[in-house]
């Protein structure tokens, strides 16, 4: 749930990057942080395991500045992708306002994408939120691997598997190299702010 302080005219929204393990959630945040570090002027907090995997979450706050008198702050989070951290993912989703689902385009990850999306729906339901209502954007990550001849899932398959009912915006991206990482983030911020607008009037 966004923190909206009408008296101080402050809005703080929480956006979570969700998806299967090793899909590129942390890499998304790292790309944004490295590329725009001097402009966003905040620190990225990340807690990794010894094996370089996300232990609890990554956190990147972004100050958008004042818009129509409101001071808008966005908090980007990732969840740990490994299957065994289901309860941690659930905790990170608490109070979420918008979600980027980072799907892994590798052909061998088809099942993991579907299972992860299902777990997202279940975890949101535990907070009485519906995946059909929450601002959501899909990112089909690792598309750059196509150039290397690595077998990837065609976007049509990803759309059919994940987005046929939800019909939300999607981006083909490469979190490692950058294409559409920023576009994904911009889209989810706009959708999230839009959904919060009614509380600001």
Partner 1 sequence: MAQQREQDDFRSQVEDRLDHLFQEDSPEETEEYVGLGEHPLKNLKAVLLSIDWEITDSTMDSLLNEIKSVEYVYAEDKIILTFLQLLGSVGRYVKANKGKAHPEATRVINSVYEALEKAALTEGISRAEKEKMLLAEVAKFKKLKELVMLRKAEKKEPAVPPVKPPPEVSPAPVPEEKRIPAAETPVQVQREMVVEEAPVREEKETAAPGTPAREETPAEARPVDFRGMAPHEAFAYALEEIKSMILAEFRALRAEIKLWRESK
Which residues contact partner 1 (rule: CB under 8 A)? 20-22, 32, 35-36, 39-40, 49-53, 55-56, 62, 64-65, 67-68, 72, 82-88, 90-91, 106, 108-109, 112, 122, 126, 145, 147-151, 177-179, 182, 185-186, 189-190, 193-194, 197, 200-201
Query: Would you give the distance in Å from CA 119 to the centre of its chain?
Result: 15
Nearer to partner 1, 123 or 164 (CB): 123
Rounded to a whole number of angstroms, the minimum distance from the CB of residue 18 to partner 1 is 16
Nearer to partner 1, 43 or 122 (CB): 122
Rounded to a whole number of angstroms, the minimum distance from the CB of residue 138 to partner 1 is 19
Nearer to partner 1, 3 or 83 (CB): 83
Nearer to partner 1, 16 or 164 (CB): 16
Rounded to a whole number of angstroms, the minimum distance from the CB of residue 166 to partner 1 is 21
Nearer to partner 1, 87 or 164 (CB): 87
Rounded to a whole number of angstroms, the minimum distance from the CB of residue 142 to partner 1 is 8
Question: 23 has which bridge partners?
Answer: none
Rounded to a whole number of angstroms, the minimum distance from the CB of residue 53 to partner 1 is 7
Q: Give the burial class of 190: count Cβ atoms within 10 A of its Cβ; 0-12 exposed, 13-18 middle, 19 or more buried.
A: middle
Nearer to partner 1, 7 or 50 (CB): 50
The string of DSSP letters for the chain reads: --EEETTTTEEEEEEEEE-STTSSHHHHHHHHHHHHHHHH----EEEE-TTS-EEEEEEEEEEEEEETTEEEEEEEEE---SGGGHHHHHHHTTT--EEEEEEE-BGGGHHHHHHHHHHHHHHHHHTT--TTTS-EEEEEE-GGGGGGT--B--HHHHHHHHSTTT---EEE--TTT-TTHHHHHHHHHHHHHHHHHHHH-
Rounded to a whole number of angstroms, the minimum distance from the CB of residue 173 to partner 1 is 12
């Amino acid at each position: 749930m966004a923190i909206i302080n009408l008296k101080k005219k402050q809005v703080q929204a929480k956006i979570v990057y969700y998806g299967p393990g090793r899909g590129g959630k942390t890499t998304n945040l790292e790309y944004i942080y490295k590329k725009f570090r001097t402009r966003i002027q905040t620190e990225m907090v990340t807690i990794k395991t010894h094996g370089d995997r996300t232990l609890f979450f990554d956190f990147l706050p972004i100050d958008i500045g004042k818009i129509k008198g409101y001071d808008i702050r966005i908090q980007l989070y990732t969840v740990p992708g490994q299957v065994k951290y289901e309860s941690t993912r659930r905790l990170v989703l608490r109070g979420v306002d918008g979600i980027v689902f980072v799907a892994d385009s590798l052909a061998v990850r088809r099942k993991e994408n579907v299972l992860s999306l299902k777990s997202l729906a279940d975890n949101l339901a535990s907070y009485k939120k519906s995946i059909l209502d929450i601002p959501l954007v899909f990112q089909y990550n690792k598309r750059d691997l196509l150039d290397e001849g690595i077998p990837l899932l065609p976007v049509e398959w990803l759309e059919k598997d994940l987005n046929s009912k939800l019909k939300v915006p999607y981006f083909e991206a490469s979190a490692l190299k950058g294409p559409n990482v920023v576009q994904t983030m911009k889209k989810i911020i706009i959708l999230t702010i839009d959904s919060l607008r009614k509380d600001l009037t």
